[in-house]
C-alpha cells in the first residue's frame, strides 16, 4: 500500500524537525523543506533510518518564485501531498511597538503570514482536486492575545488563526481538513532567533518553568493528522502546565 505523504516546512529545527521524526516513525514518506541544506540532509538521514522515503526541497518560504519552482518540480508519488505542516516561522525582537525594528517586522510578516499563504496556495488546489488532504498550521498562543513586546509577532500568529479559519470555510465542501495548533513556550531555537543569537537571553525565557519540547508539539500535530477522516481537529492550544496564557507564566517550577 502507498504510504501517506507529509510536507513539512522549516524542518531543519525545533518543532518542524520533531514532526519529521514523528511522521517518519509513524510510516509516512516526507517532503522536508527549509533553507539550510546541510541540516535538511541530516534530518533526512534520521527519517530514512526510521523507514521513510524523504525528498529534500531547499528554499526560503519568503521567495515565492523559488517556492513555486520547488512545488512544480514534484512529480509522481511526490506530487500528491496528504498533509501540509506549515511550520516555518519566527519571532524577531521583543521591543515595544513604537521602538521595534521595521526590518524585523517585515521578516516576520513575510515568513509567518506570506510564506504560509504561498505554501497553502501552492499545495491546497491538489488536495481539493483529489478531495483529500490536511493542512496543519503552526499558530501560537501569541495569536490569542498580545503580550508585552509581542506586538507584531502576535499579530502574525493572529493572522495565522484567521487564515486557518478562512481556509477551513473555503474547503468545507471537500474532505480537506484544516487545523491550527497553537503552542505556548516550546524550548527550541525560537528564542535564540528572537534575540538575534543571544543564547543567554534566550535561556531566561524558560527559567523557572518546564517548557514544552518540539516532540510534545509533534505528538499533537500527528494526533490531528491521524484522527478518523470525519474528525477535524480545528484548533488546539498546547501550554506547559505552569503557563496559563501568553503573558501568565508561573516561574516557580523547574
Residues marked as catalytic: 153
Query: From ligand 8X3, ligand NDP, none, which one binds at residue 209 (CB under 5 to 8 Å depending on kind)?
Result: none
CB-nearer residue toward ligand 8X3: 59 or 195: 195
CB-nearer residue toward ligand 8X3: 29 or 158: 158
Are the CB atoms for 250 and 244 separated by under 8 Å? yes
For residue 84, the SS3 value is: strand
Binding mask 28-67 for ligand NDP (x = CB under 6 A): ------xxx-----------------------xxx-----
CB-nearer residue toward ligand 8X3: 59 or 190: 190
Cα 246 to the center of its chain, rounded Å: 18
Rounded CA-CA distance 50/36 in Å is 22
CB-nearer residue toward ligand 8X3: 70 or 141: 141
183: left (phi over 0), alpha (psi -120 to 50) or beta: beta
Q: Determine, following the binding rule CB under 6 A, whether residue 141 of this chain makes contact with ligand 8X3.
A: yes
Q: Determine, following the binding rule CB under 6 A, whether residue 140 of this chain makes contact with ligand 8X3.
A: yes
CB-nearer residue toward ligand NDP: 5 or 32: 32
Q: Determine, following the binding rule CB under 6 A, whether residue 137 of this chain makes contact with ligand 8X3.
A: no
Query: From ligand NDP, ligand 8X3, none, which one binds at residue 133 (CB under 5 to 8 Å depending on kind)?
Result: none
133: left (phi over 0), alpha (psi -120 to 50) or beta: left
Beta strands in 22-149 (DSSP E): 29-34, 54-58, 83-86, 134-138
Q: Determine, following the binding rule CB under 6 A, whether residue 89 of this chain makes contact with ligand NDP.
A: yes
The residue count for binding ligand NDP (CB under 6 A) is 28
Complete edge-to-edge strand list for the sheet that includes strand 54-58: 54-58, 29-34, 5-9, 83-86, 134-138, 177-183, 235-238
Q: Determine, following the binding rule CB under 6 A, whether residue 180 of this chain makes contact with ligand NDP.
A: no
Q: Determine, following the binding rule CB under 6 A, whether residue 146 of this chain makes contact with ligand NDP.
A: no
Query: From ligand NDP, ligand 8X3, none, which one binds at residue 246 (CB under 5 to 8 Å depending on kind)?
Result: ligand 8X3
Tell me how far CA of residue 37 lies from CA of 12, 57, 131, in angstroms.
9, 8, 33
Nearest distance in Å: CB 108, ligand NDP: 9
194: which 3 cell numbers? 528572537
Tell me how far CA of residue 15 lies from CA of 82, 99, 193, in angstroms.
19, 30, 14
Q: Determine, following the binding rule CB under 6 A, whether residue 246 of this chain makes contact with ligand 8X3.
A: yes
Radius of gyration of the chain (CA): 17
Q: Determine, following the binding rule CB under 6 A, whether residue 124 of this chain makes contact with ligand 8X3.
A: no
96: which 3 cell numbers? 515595544
Which residues of this chain interact with ligand 8X3, rule CB under 6 A? 140-142, 150, 184-185, 246
**Residues that bind ligand NDP in the complex, under the rule CB under 6 A:** 10, 12-16, 34-36, 60-62, 87-90, 111, 115, 138, 140, 183, 185-186, 188-190, 193, 214
Amino acid at each position: 500500500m502507498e504510504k501517506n505523504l507529509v510536507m513539512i516546512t522549516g524542518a531543519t529545527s525545533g518543532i518542524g524537525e520533531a514532526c519529521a521524526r514523528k511522521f517518519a516513525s509513524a510510516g509516512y514518506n516526507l517532503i522536508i523543506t527549509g533553507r539550510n541544506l546541510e541540516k535538511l540532509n541530516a534530518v533526512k538521514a534520521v527519517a530514512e533510518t526510521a523507514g521513510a522515503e524523504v525528498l529534500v526541497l531547499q528554499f526560503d518560504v519568503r521567495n515565492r518564485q523559488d517556492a513555486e519552482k520547488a512545488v512544480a518540480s514534484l512529480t509522481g508519488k511526490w506530487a500528491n501531498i496528504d498533509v501540509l505542516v506549515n511550520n516555518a516561522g519566527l519571532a524577531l525582537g521583543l521591543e515595544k511597538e513604537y521602538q521595534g525594528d521595521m526590518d524585523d517586522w517585515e521578516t516576520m510578516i513575510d515568513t509567518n503570514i506570506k510564506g504560509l499563504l504561498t505554501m497553502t496556495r501552492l499545495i491546497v488546489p491538489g488536495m481539493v482536486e483529489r478531495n483529500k488532504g490536511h493542512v496543519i498550521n503552526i499558530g501560537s498562543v501569541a495569536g490569542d492575545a498580545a503580550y508585552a513586546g509581542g506586538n507584531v509577532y502576535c499579530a502574525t500568529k493572529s493572522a495565522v488563526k484567521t487564515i486557518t479559519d478562512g481556509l477551513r470555510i473555503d474547503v468545507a465542501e471537500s474532505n480537506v481538513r484544516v487545523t491550527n495548533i497553537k503552542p505556548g513556550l516550546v524550548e527550541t531555537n525560537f528564542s535564540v532567533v528572537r534575540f538575534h543569537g543571544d543564547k543567554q537571553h534566550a535561556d531566561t525565557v524558560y527559567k523557572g518553568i518546564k517548557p514544552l519540547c518540539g516532540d510534545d508539539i509533534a505528538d499533537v500535530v500527528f494526533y490531528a493528522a491521524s484522527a478518523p477522516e470525519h474528525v477535524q481537529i480545528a484548533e488546539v492550544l498546547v501550554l506547559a502546565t505552569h503557563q496559563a496564557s501568553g503573558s501568565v507564566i508561573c516561574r516557580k517550577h523547574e
